[in-house]
Structure 1
Amino acid sequence: MTKIDHLNITVPDIDEALAFLSIVAPDFKVRKDVKSPDRHRWAHVGNEQSYFALQEPHLDSITPSSAQKTYKNYGVNHIGLVVKNLESIEANLIEQGYCRGIFAPEETYRKRAYFFDKAGFEWELTEFLSEIPDEMYLYE
């Protein structure tokens, strides 16, 4: 079976990315955080199954551009995570000043919410209310 091992994302502020992930993925731990004085900073954060490889802009980037406009420009539209207790996560994100993304319609077997992190990446957070694949991915 194929599975995602990691996603490598260039972010403007690793500490801010780690703060966002601590809310939406509290089981994620920092595996490695390299702050070299002569190279770009990078960090791996995740659990035993997968992780995000976060890095600061490098490779001769002088002025990195902001994140692309989701659903309009080529690139990643959102990053999806399966979470537990979506309502609590939503409340924490709103309390910390994160903005909602696109609207998710109400569904029978899953709850979804979209939020932007401070770097402009949109995240889809899904709480499944069933463990039956045909119900989990029922597009109502």
Structure 2
Amino acid sequence: MISAAVLRAVASLTRARAAHTAPLAVRCFSHAKVETDEEFDSRWVTYFSKPDLDAWELRKGMNTLIGYDLVPEPKILASALRACRRLDDLASAIRILEAVKDKSGPHQEIYPYVIQELGPTLQELGISTPEELGIHTV
């Protein structure tokens, strides 16, 4: 048989546990400064413009950027494509364009807009789009 002292101890622990779980239901939002769109774009353009950026950092940056719930702005993509040219990495440049097309999803107007905006950069760097290379039909 359970003694009265044990029952009181269990009841006390139950009350204490209930008292400590209530604050966990409160949402704690970050007090960090919210980054504006311009600051976000500037941060990524600066990242890809680093002269000592290597192939691993390029891929890491693109994987992080593509992981966000957005399609990167053309100026960010132009910076990344210039980094591909500095690294002489055509495969990564094509992969970036393919990733943008995938990120556009059902919004058919986004990818043509991005390609239009990147047109001068693609011409300058001598990079063909996946469509020009016939990759999209594979």
Q: TM-score range by the shorter chain?
A: under 0.3
Greater share of residues in strand: 1
When normalised by structure 2's length, the TM-score is: 0.24
